[in-house]
Amino acid sequence: MENGVMMQYFEWDLPNDGMLWKKLAQDAAHLASIGISAVWVPPAYKNMDQNSVGYSPYDLFDFGEFDQKGTVRTKYGTRAQFEAAVKALHGQGISVYLDAVLNHKAGADEKETFLVKRVHEENRYEEIGDSYEVEGWTHFTFPGRGDKYSPFKWRWYHFSGLDYDARHGERGVFKIQGEGKDWCHSVDREKGNYDYLMFANIDYRHPEVVAETLRWGSWAVREFELDGFRLDAVKHITRPFIRHFMHDVREHCCRPLYAVGEFWKHSEEDLVAFLQETHEQLDLFDVPLHYKLHEASVRGADFDLGSLMQDTLVHNHPTLAVPFVDNHDSQPGQALESAVLDWFKPAAYGLILLQKEGYPCVFYGDYYGIGGGEAVHRGVIDTLLRIRRKRAYGAQRDYFDHAHIVGFVRSGDHAHPGSGLALLVSNANEGEKTMNVGADHAGEVWTEATGCCPGEHVCIDPAGNAAFRVPAGKLAVWHLATA
């Protein structure tokens, strides 16, 4: 879809009431009307407990169908409700991307005995002492599901590490020992080797693990008619497997299949290396841009807005970038808390939604509120989405040439009458900037769309120039007044 927009349709503090899939189905027509072209849904399968947001996966084949872990439904509802939501979204022309948590498993059914070596938590290559025997929760038998959809049962040798020794009651990072056992390489080098993240760490060096995960990917796409995946924690998964997974699933589904990965790191250089090593089989969320937006919101006038887009994925690799403002990990109270402050959030959304490049993602928490709180940004996001649908076309010219007032213009095109816009952001005093929107707009009268300059108009001169104003600490978006 032209000018497509993804929405992350969950936040961390949703109630455990089993109603999200029903709400999503009811919301499908509204989402289409505001220009949402795809929805990233949370992990829809059974986790180690019903209240889990989805990142402690127990059984990827149980979408709220079987009585396991003390529940049939997941936090978000039942399989039938999930299928109804997908059908409703597809009926509105909206794609569905499933959050795939493939790095680890949690909530095993039985303990097993095997050898481990404890490693230093800040350097996974530093072993502490000799091998010793532990009991670990690594045997997944899925008693509620049995062999339906897959007969595979997970054993200790399908994992490379775990965080709890049940025999001695100790927590830490334990590397499983045995023939061919080691951390996977071609992962992020933080902590020496960041293969291990949490729970029972899946070993993608094991051929049975690879085969089962590939089987699940193709099954999930066919079973639920998915349009793509959001791949969780990809910096912890070996890159050859990521390539293999995406190639295999696309080959078996025989249609275009989108994928975006979460590689949570400030460094654009590290994200680019991942993209290259995975042969650009997926896009990445623009985490460096998120941190720039967060820093700009915290530092205010002390931040140089002229540097805002530097060293970001959307600036340097735009066709592979998914810019976002916030998500469930960055929201207040989470381990990666780095929320963009409210005063700057309209500007942040203006920047990602109205620029030419990237595939922007709107966060549920910003649009519907967090933890049942007020949705303070919904109005401005609706306005920006409307402008994106109607005005955000044509070439872009950047004006990131000042520390406190920056912007860009979109020149519009003949296929979208009335299109074209001028965006300005201030992090200090009010001011204006002369920008060129193109001689095709000569003589037009433009007005500000967000309400920050009520009653004001500007006239585009014969060369396509105009002086556009922005109030102190605000976002301003100007476009043709009568279209």
| Residues carrying an active site annotation | 232, 262
Judge contact between 100 and 231, C-beta under 8 A.
Answer: yes
Burial bucket for residue 46 (CB in 10 Å: 0-12, 13-18, 19+): buried
CA dist 71 → 83, 121, 161, 217, 246 (Å)? 18, 34, 28, 24, 31
Residue where the block lists tokens 């002086």? 467
CB 216 within 8 Å of CB 263:
no
Rounded CA-CA distance 440/456 in Å is 22
Tell me how far apart the alpha carbons of residues 52 and 74 are, in angstroms, rounded to a whole number. 8
Helix (H, G, I), strand (E, B) or coil at 10: coil
CA distances from 354 to 264, 395, 428 (A): 24, 12, 22
Taking a C-beta distance cutoff of 8 angstroms, is the pair 6, 359 a contact? yes
3-state secondary structure of 143: coil
β-partners of residue 468 are 433
CA nearest neighbour of 46 among 58, 34, 28: 58
Name the helix (H) or strand (E) containing 224. Answer: helix 207-224
Type of residue found at 315: H
Contacts of 32 (CB under 8 A, 6+ apart): 92, 93, 94
Strands 258-261 and 283-285: parallel
Residues 6+ apart with CB under 8 A from 345: 297, 325, 326, 366, 377
Alpha-carbon gap, residue 172 to 14, rounded angstroms: 30
For residues 329 and 58, give the distance between their C-alpha atoms in angstroms, rounded to a whole number.
21
Any idea what DSSP says for residue 42?
Answer: P
How far lies 361's CA from each of 40, 135, 249, 321, 415, in Å? Answer: 9, 43, 24, 10, 25
**What angle is formed at CA 234 by the lines to CA 231 and CA 240, rounded to 5 degrees?**
105
Which residues does 374 contact at the CB level (< 8 Å), separation at least 6? Answer: none
SS3 387: helix
> Residues for the chain: how many in total?
483
Question: Taking Cα atoms as reference points, which of 285, 272, 284, 279 lies closest to residue 250?
Answer: 279
